[in-house]
Amino acid sequence: MENSPRLRDWYEKLTQQKPLVIAGPCSAETEQQLMDIATSLRKNDKVHIFRAGIWKPRTRPGGFEGVGEIGLKWLQKVKQETGMLVATEVANKQHILLAQEYGIDVFWIGARTTVNPFAVQEIAEALHGTDKIVLLKNPVNPDLSLWLGGLERLYNVGIKNLGVIHRGFSTYQKTKYRNLPEWQIPIELQARFPDLPLICDPSHITGQREMVADVAQQALNLNYDGLMIETHNCPDEAWSDAKQQITPETLNDILNQLQLRKPEAQSEEYHIELNNLRIQIDELDMKILDILGERMQIAEQIGGLKSKHNVAILQSDRWQDVLQKYIREGSRKGLTSNFMTTLFKAIHQESIEHQEKKV
């Protein structure tokens, strides 16, 4: 998979300039709704693919779960009348067969499906050797191996027009995001497969339309190849995920305001200054490692003391007090509560393991 030059072919055929844009409603609701949105988006030469959910996996039963097969007929009409490529989410073999019957161009596999290797394998086998574009969303949980495994299953059956969609990761923590970006995970995937188109879904990351532009820009700052943005002619009246959808007019404004970043600069002055700053970061990182090493030595001493007095290693009340203190201190230094929580949970776990050595 690493050596294949074909993974990016489909992307370069659609656009020579970032970002590739996939836009359309979270859900197909009526034929008129789809045609109205598609007609508006067709006027925007920055939009390359029209998307709409036909089958909607819901966390709990009773919600709107999509219009089903009739929606594929509507997408077929969108394709015929606007000339746009059309995309929808597929979650099983039957979805694939129906979508192919109606000439759908692009399939994406949702986060809830990516977590299930059996489902991904079923989809892969149903798409064996297809020339359709297949995009794999990250799994719900932050697991790079699971994401990579899904890609390998698709590639191994001869699917070459591949890409991935970063839609964020679920969390129990209360944050400003609907799904945490966890940017380091898609960045690691991109580092392993630089030829694989990487698309950001700011709609699902944010869960609120006011933040879509900022996250879209952040993705471009990180050299993403494209954006998938949910777009609806009457977002507040949408049958699903109303809060995160924007109008075609707002989409146009966002796309016009996005700043494209160069992957690299040629200026010698830039490289000298960048190298100097990186040297400073490297020196600070080494100091952090030295401090962590010293901290763990003290943790071992604490472990020995607790063992001597027959005291449990984990002191839950102190740990919660310490964590909240560091979150407050981190906030004063411009560090997010999510970062501070993740950092000090990792340090605490390592500290426990060092204490256990002395028990």
Place of tokens 């986060």: 111
Fold of 270-356: Chorismate Mutase Domain, subunit A (1.20.59)
Q: Are strands 49-51 and 85-90 parallel, antiparallel or unpaired?
A: parallel
Classify domain 9-257 at the CATH class level. Answer: alpha beta
Averaged pLDDT of the chain: 92
Query: 59 pLDDT band (50/70/90 cuts)?
Result: low
Residues in the chain: 359
pLDDT digits (tens, 9 = 90+) for 172-227: 777 889 999 999 999 999 989 989 999 999 999 999 999 999 999 999 999 999 99
Cβ-Cβ contacts under 8 Å for 30 (sequence gap 6 or more): 74
Question: Does residue 7 surpass a pLDDT of 90?
Answer: no
Question: Does residue 3 surpass a pLDDT of 60?
Answer: no
Report the pLDDT value the prediction gives residue 230, as an integer from 0 to 100: 98
Cα 111–Cα 132–Cα 202 angle in degrees, nearest 5 = 35
The predicted model scores a pTM of: 0.82
pLDDT digits (tens, 9 = 90+) for 297-341: 999 999 999 988 999 888 888 889 989 999 999 999 999 888 999
- Tally of CB atoms within 10 A around 241: 19
Angstrom distance (rounded) from CA 134 to CA 159: 8
Angstrom distance (rounded) from CA 335 to CA 327: 8
Q: How many alpha carbons lie under 13 Å from residue 63 in its C-beta half-sphere? A: 12
Domain coordinates of the chain in residue numbers?
9-257, 270-356
